[in-house]
Amino acid sequence: LRIRIHRGTAEIGGNCIEVAAANSERIVLDLGRPLWAEWGQHIEPPAAPGFGEPDPSLLGLVITHPHLDHYGLAAELKVDVPLYVGEEAASLLEAASFFSPVSGRLKPTGFLKHRKPFAIGPFTITPFLNDHSAFDAYSVLVEADGERLFYTGDLRGHGRKKKLFEQLLTRPPADVDALLMEGTHVRASGAHDEAIFDTERDLEDRFVSLCKETPGAVVVLGSAQNLDRLVTVFRAARRGDRDLVVDLYGATVAAATRATIPQPGFDGLRVYVPQRQRVLVKKAEAFWRVEQIKQYRVFAEELAANQDKFIFHVPSSTARELIKSKALTAEGVVAWSMWEGYLKTDSGVGLQKLLAANEVRLTSVHTSGHASVVDLQRLVTALAPGKVVPIHSEAGDRFSELFATVERHSDGEWWEVRS
Ligand SMILES: [Zn+2]
């Protein structure tokens, strides 16, 4: 088995890994958009045969999870390559595409299922459902020619599905020759190595406190596609004796996954349709979208008259409208529930000014979608691979200080899984 990482050995995001068997047949794991790419900026797919022109030796593309930095370029491919992804991940992206122009759509050939091996030519792929901030995310074991590669994708051990991480440690794949491991939290500075992150349970408790101590609305600003967080906020709403309000985008994405995810029809879940979504629906004449949530719909007047009865899980772009309609006032609080770095962007700074001008308190309630260094060390110990190769990290040079048997490679370089 030979590997060529096209992108990811020296940066977080844009993952793309080409895997070649002895007979020269190939598969590719992830085909992400780099995180540094601007919205709308065209990025060429990596220079692997089969991405520009059709090439029969490229047998398939496996997408580990529905984050743009792992699937983004796959959604833009001009050639047809058989594509494998989680079934719920695919329906989530399909549902999101109506609302979010940056969200791509995939046309899957087959679906990944937890610990169910399947064949693509000479390759046997075994997906391992994992704990990550993206829904329906997998790590994958790739076997061919008697050699074994394990690729973590993105994962963590402190989310709502942390049992899956523990299961990976107690029942790991055997005889892994190479572990291609994400290192989002391996940083240039060692000060971060010991960091331990809040669990989604911890966040739930903090949201409950906010519900209880806030005389106005609790507005959680997060990603509609982070369903772990949606579950966390919904549970907090029940415990804090408030109704959860999501927007039409959030409601649609949640309903596209599985019946256990909070969605319209759940007791105490209401749907607010912001102005820009009303316009979208009207333009597309997709009135059924509003019709089907009619029973659960909540309007600005009710929100404004009962501020202390609601907690929201909505995108940051909705804050302005909630302030304008007096659903969110100085009595309320905004909980930032995304990466804090976004607060430093132009729109983040604009939001902070808006909140300050309206005397709305801003607090941060978030936890990482990626494993701590401590959990990565536990993973390496459990798998005891022949070698550990860094990916999805800005500090691959620090891996050898933290893990045994590290072997670094550069973007574009071919290397052997077993050597
Ligand atoms: Zn991810």
Q: Give me ligand 1 centre to Cα 153, in Å.
A: 7
Q: Give me ligand 1 centre to Cα 310, in Å.
A: 30
- Write out residues in the chain with pLDDT < 70, as ranges: none
Q: Give me ligand 1 centre to Cα 263, in Å.
A: 23
Which residues lie closer than 8 Å to 341 by C-beta, 6 or more apart? none
Q: Give me ligand 1 centre to Cα 137, in Å.
A: 8
Q: Give me ligand 1 centre to Cα 69, in Å.
A: 7
Q: Give me ligand 1 centre to Cα 154, in Å.
A: 5
Residue type, 278: R
Q: Give me ligand 1 centre to Cα 66, in Å.
A: 7
Residue 44 DSSP SS3: coil
pTM: 0.95
For residues 7 and 103, is the Cβ–Cβ distance under 8 A? no
Give the Å distances, CA to CA, from 404 to 24, 151, 188, 274: 31, 17, 18, 51
Q: What pLDDT does 103 receive?
A: 82
Q: Give me ligand 1 centre to Cα 115, in Å.
A: 20
Q: Give me ligand 1 centre to Cα 183, in Å.
A: 12
Q: Give me ligand 1 centre to Cα 167, in Å.
A: 20
How far is residue 369's CA from residue 393's CA, in Å, rounded to a whole number?
14
| The length of the chain, given as a count of residues | 419
Q: Give me ligand 1 centre to Cα 170, in Å.
A: 23
Q: Give me ligand 1 centre to Cα 23, in Å.
A: 32
Q: Give me ligand 1 centre to Cα 133, in Å.
A: 7
* DSSP line for 220-268: EE--TT-HHHHHHHHHHHHHTT-EEEEEHHHHHHHHTS-TTS--BTBTT
Q: Give me ligand 1 centre to Cα 65, in Å.
A: 7
Q: Give me ligand 1 centre to Cα 373, in Å.
A: 16
Q: Give me ligand 1 centre to Cα 3, in Å.
A: 21
Q: In terms of C-beta density within 10 A (0-12 exposed, 13-18 middle, 19 or more buried), how is residue 349 classed? A: exposed
Q: Give me ligand 1 centre to Cα 230, in Å.
A: 17
Q: Give me ligand 1 centre to Cα 293, in Å.
A: 30
How far is residue 285's CA from residue 299's CA, in Å, rounded to a whole number?
21
Q: What pLDDT does 232 receive?
A: 97
Q: What pLDDT does 281 receive?
A: 98
Q: Give me ligand 1 centre to Cα 283, in Å.
A: 32
Q: Give me ligand 1 centre to Cα 97, in Å.
A: 18
Q: Give me ligand 1 centre to Cα 157, in Å.
A: 14
